[in-house]
Amino acid sequence: MTESLEDTPDAGLMGSIAELGGVSPEALRLLLTLMAGYPIAALYTKYVADLPLKMLHHVFFFTCGAGLCYFNYGVGTYHSLLGILVTYLLVLFLRQNIKLLIGLNFSFHMTYLLLGYFYTSSNEYDILWTMPHCILVLRMIGFGFDISDGLKANEALSKEQKETALPQVPSLLELLAFAYFPSGFLIGPQFPMRRYQNFINGDYRRHEGNVEAGMRRLAAGVFYLIVCQVGLSVLPDSYFLSPEFAKVGFIKRIYLLGFWAKFSLYKYISCWLLTEGALIYIGFTYKGTDEHGEPDWSGCSNVKLVLLETGNTMEHYVQSFNVNTNQWVGQYIYKRLKFLNNRTISYGAALGFLAIWHGYHSGYYMAFLMEYMVVSTEKQITNFYDKVVLPRYGNFLNSSDVYKILYFATLKSYNIVYMGWCLASFVFLKYERWIVVFEAVNYYGFIWLLIWAAFYQSYLYLSRFGGKSSADATGGKKTQ
C-alpha cells in the first residue's frame, strides 16, 4: 500500500524546484494543488457553468480533481477510486437495509484508512495518499448517512438531516465529481452531496460578491503562510527537542513553546484559507445573507479568524479551528449517539473518533485527551468565577482598571502557554518525541490542571461538609 515519491509524475523536476524553494516536493505539490483551484474556478465560470447538461459539469470536476490527485500521488490515486466505488456499490445494493449499509460503509472506510496509516506512518506528519484519503473517509461515511436519512420520514429528521438527506441515489459520475471536487478533496473542507447538487443546479450563481470574497481569503491565506514560514524558521520544531531549549529559563520556555504553537497552527490555517478562497471564488460556499442583507460566503469556512486571534481559552480554539471537521463530527458522530442519553460519553466518543481518524500516533490521543481535560477545567473555572467570585467581589473587581488589565494579561498568557502544551504532542506525534518537550517544560500543563482539580474538589467537599450548598460552585441544585 506504500508509494514512493518516484511513483508520482515528474518527481525529479518537482524535486529540483522544491529544493530551490527550500521545501519538500510533497509540500510543493500540495501548495500548487491548492492554488490550482483558482484557475479551475475561472475556467469553470467562463466555459462550463452555463452548460445545460449536468453530466458535463460532473466530468469537468471529476477530471480536474482526479488529475490533481494523480499529480500528487501518482498510482496511489487508486486508493480513493476504490473507496468511492465500494461506497457506491454498497448504496446500490444495500440501500434498503440502513443499519447494514451504514455499518459496512463505516467499517470499510475506517479499516482501510487505519491500514493505510499502519503501512505508511513515520515520525513526521506525512504528505501521502492517506492525507486526502482521511478527507474522503468522512465524505463517504457522511454520504452513507445522508442516503439512509433520505429513506426516513421527514418528521423523523432533524433540521440538519433535512438539509443533507438524499432521497435519490446519485449516479457514479456525480459521486466521483463530488468526492474529487478540486478545491475540496485534498485537505477538506467537508460538505454534503446536497451542497454540491445545489451548486451544480445553479442555486448559488445568482448571488454576487464571491470573486471579491474569494480573493480576500486568498490574501489572508498568503499572509498566514508567510508568517508561518518566518515564525517556524526562527522557532523550528527541532529546537524544542534540543538540549538548548531545556536550558532556557522556565518562563521563557513556556512562552516560546506557545508562540511556536501559534506558528504551527498557521501552517494548517494558511492551507485552509487558500482552499476556501478557491471555493468562494467559484461560488460554492453560499450560506445565505448576513446581518446587512449581503451574501454570506462562509458556508465552507474551516477557520474563524477573528475568534482564533481574539479568543482567550482552549474552547475558543476548538470553536475557531478546523470548524468544518468539528461540525461533521458533531452531526454524524456526536448527535447520532443521542440514544446513549449522556453528553459526556458522546463527547468523549466523538473525541475518540477524531483521534483514531488522525492515526495511531500516541500524540493524537494525548492532544485530544488534553483538549477534553482543559475545556472541562475551563468550564469549572468559569462557573466558579461567575457563581462564587463575582457575587462576592464583583463590585470591587469590575470597578478596578488595574484588575481589568491583569485579567486581560492573565487570560492572554494562559492562551499562549497552554496552546503550546496542548499542541506539542499533536505535532511531535511519537511518545519518545513529545515526552521530551513535556519534560523540558517541567510538565506544567499536568501540574496546573491537578492543582485546580485538587482545589475545586476540596472546595466542593468542604461546602458539603459544612452543610452549605455547592450550588454556587456548580450552578446546579443543592447537593444532599
* 470 falls within a domain: no
Q: Examine residue 466 and state whether it is found in any structural domain, yes or no.
A: no
Both 197 and 266 in one domain: the answer is no
185 and 304 assigned to the same domain: no
Number of folded domains in the chain? 2
> Which of 105, 322, 324, 415 does the annotation list as catalytic?
322
Residue 9 lies in a domain: no
Question: Are 106 and 160 in a shared domain?
Answer: yes
Listed residues 149, 171, 201: the one ending a domain: 201
Pick the catalytic residue from 109, 358, 361, 415: 358
Is residue 270 a part of any domain in this protein?
Answer: yes
Instruction: Verify that 245 and 326 share a domain, yes or no.
Output: yes
- Indicate whether 242 and 136 sit together in one domain: no
Indicate if 97 belongs to the active site.
no
Q: Which of 169, 201, 233 is the last residue of a domain?
A: 201
In terms of residue numbers, what domain contains 175? Answer: 23-201
* 164 and 241 housed in the same domain: no
Tell me whether residue 297 is in a domain. Answer: yes
Q: Are residues 148 and 64 in the same domain?
A: yes
The answer to the question of residue 7 being in a domain is no
Write out the chain in H/E/C secondary structure: CCCCHHHCCCHHHHHHHHHHHCCCHHHHHHHHHHHHHHHHHHHHHHHHCCCCCHHHHHHHHHHHHHHHHHHHHHHHHHHHHHHHHHHHHHHHHHCCCHHHHHHHHHHHHHHHHHHHHHHHCCCCCCCCCHHHHHHHHHHHHHHHHHHHHCCCCHHHCCHHHHHHCCCCCCCHHHHHHHHCCCCCCCCCCCCCHHHHHHHHCCCCCCCCCHHHHHHHHHHHHHHHHHHHHHHHHHCCHHHHHCHHHHHCCHHHHHHHHHHHHHHHHHHHHHHHHHHHHHHHHHCCCCCEECCCCCEECCCCCCECHHHHHHCCCHHHHHHHECHHHHHHHHHHHHHHHHHHCCHHHHHHHHHHHHHHHHCCCHHHHHHHHHHHHHHHHHHHHHHHHHHHHHHHHHHHHHCCHHHHHHHHHHHHHHHHHHHHHHHHHHHHCCHHHHHHHHHHCCCHHHHHHHHHHHHHHHHHHHHHHCCCCCHHHHCCCCCC
Residues 29 and 53 in one domain: yes
| Annotation marks residue 322 as catalytic | yes
Domain boundary among 166, 201, 236: 201
Per-residue pLDDT of the chain (480 residues; tens, 9 = 90+): 545 444 565 567 777 787 777 778 888 999 999 999 999 999 999 999 999 999 999 999 999 999 999 999 999 999 999 999 999 999 999 999 999 999 999 999 999 999 999 999 876 777 899 999 999 999 999 999 999 999 999 999 999 999 999 999 999 999 999 999 999 999 999 999 999 999 999 999 999 999 999 999 999 999 999 999 999 999 999 999 999 999 999 999 999 999 999 999 999 999 999 999 999 999 999 999 998 899 999 999 999 999 999 999 999 998 999 999 999 999 999 999 988 888 888 988 998 999 999 999 999 999 999 999 999 999 999 999 999 999 999 898 888 999 999 999 999 999 999 999 999 999 999 999 999 999 999 999 999 999 999 999 999 888 887 654 444 545 444 443
Q: Is residue 468 one of the residues assigned to a domain?
A: no
Query: Are 257 and 357 found together in one domain?
Result: yes
Domain identity same for 256 and 385? yes
Same domain, 44 and 86: yes
Indicate whether 118 and 251 sit together in one domain: no
